[in-house]
Structure 1
Amino acid sequence: MNLDNVITRLRVACPSFAGRVAGAAEFAGLPPNSKVALPAAFVIPNADQAGQQQSQNRYRQTITDRIAIVVVLDNSADRRGQAAVAEIHDIRAELWRALLLWPPGPEYDGLVYEGGQGVDMDAARLYYQFEFSAEAEIGIEDTAQPGMVEQMPRLAGIDIRTDVIDPMYDPNLASRGPDGRIEAGADITLE
């Protein structure tokens, strides 16, 4: 999932952050002592999960892409975190209004909520993670096949030779099956 789309959406649709939304590769990469005003949010890619390949003659597979939104709240007023925790309900409601059923790209269904949990706390900040996911389908156009087909030589023609099971000219051989003789054929030249 393109995290830039989610970041842009949160900057526009979540006024509590006042535009203070960025991306990060993982929670450990968040700046612990940055001077950013709070509350702020960081969008982080989470694990994706692939379903089974669902087609015998094409390619169709559903994937579920997950993201985490780590919200950083001011915890300096109460070292126990009670004051910061009180904000979580309102922040979560704002995230829901911004993201639930919103498709993060044309290939995705709308985002769904998967849950939330506290991930860290110190004397100055509370880090709370909200998790969302969206499904997309991998199709034949996403595979190597279109490129392989382009590299194949052009089909110039078809040569058909048929040994019929029930020979047309000998009714006595009808129950014996193919006899190895070619009874019909065609040559087709393609332009």
Structure 2
Amino acid sequence: MNITPILTQLRDQCPSLANHISTGLDLDLLQSNTTLQTPAAFVSVIADLASKDASQNVTRQTLTDRLELVLVLDSSNAAQAFDQLHSLRAELWRALVGFKPDTFYNPIEYDGGELISINASRLLYRLHFFAEFQLGRNRSTDPAETWHERELDGLPSFSGVTVKVDAIDPADPNLHRPGPDGRLELTFSGDVTQ
């Protein structure tokens, strides 16, 4: 998942964070950095999970891109920090849940959150989001997404077929039975027109 559309969406839709939105994740640094302006959010793409292929002759896998957002709040007043967390969490849901980071993704969904740590100066809270998309194209006119699709794209176009039929019976008694006798009983062709 490209992180830039997520950052842009958060910066546009989360005024409480006042553009203190960045990427990366160093929990020790976030916990100890007392000069960091709060509230702040740090976004990371943390994993992609793949389902089993749903087809036999093409690739159709659902991939789930997982996204993590860590909120850093001033916890010098713990009750106020938890109240602020409650408000910010709702603001993040309004910004991300239902947002499509790209045309081929399903809308982003929320997958829960948890408290990472709290001390006298910092509260860190992690929120999980995910968005799914399909690996494997739907139409042959779409660009190849897998090696198999690329290989199929390299094949010549199907222009027609010629069928030659050598029937098993009646078989030539001088040859091994049963089996074709080597004489063509029927030949036909068909051309594909577009």
TM-score by length of 1: 0.79
Aligned partner of residue 47 in structure 1, secondary structure: strand
Q: Deviations over 1:149-168 (max 9, x none)?
A: 4555677975532224677x
Q: How does 1:86-97 map to 2 (within 5 A)?
A: 86-97=83-94
Query: What is the alpha-carbon distance in structure 2 between the residues aligned to residue 29 and residue 157 of structure 1?
Result: 66
Output the amino acid matched with 2:91. Answer: E
Q: Deviations over 1:48-99 (max 9, x none)?
A: 21111011121111111111110111113x3xx3321121111111011111
Question: How far off is 1:148 after superposition?
Answer: 2.5
Percent of aligned pairs with the same residue?
36
Aligned to 1:144: 147
Aligned to 2:4: 4
Contact 1:166 1:178 in 2 (8 A): yes
Aligned to 1:49: 49
What RMSD over aligned residues (CA atoms) do the two structures have, in Å? 3.0
Contact 2:34 2:121 in 1 (8 A): no
Query: What is the alpha-carbon distance in structure 1 between the residues aligned to residue 90 and residue 181 of structure 2?
Result: 75
Deviates more, 1:1-10 or 1:121-130: 121-130
- Which consecutive residues of structure 1, in runs of 5 or more, have no partner in the other structure? 171-175
Aligned to 2:141: none
Q: Does 1:163 align with 2:166?
A: yes
Aligned to 2:187: 185
Distance verdict in 2 for CA 1:92–1:179, change over 3 Å: same
Question: How far off is 1:38 after superposition?
Answer: 0.9
Q: Does 1:71 align with 2:71?
A: yes
Distance verdict in 2 for CA 1:180–1:73, change over 3 Å: farther
Distance verdict in 2 for CA 1:5–1:30, change over 3 Å: farther
Aligned residues: 179
Distance verdict in 2 for CA 1:88–1:139, change over 3 Å: same
Distance verdict in 2 for CA 1:142–1:84, change over 3 Å: same
Question: How far off is 1:34 after superposition?
Answer: 6.5
Output the amino acid matched with 1:179. Answer: P
Output the amino acid matched with 1:60. Answer: R
Deviates more, 1:120-129 or 1:13-22: 120-129
Aligned to 1:20: 20
Question: How far off is 1:27 after superposition?
Answer: 4.5
Q: Does 1:108 align with 2:111?
A: no
Aligned partner of residue 116 in structure 2, secondary structure: strand
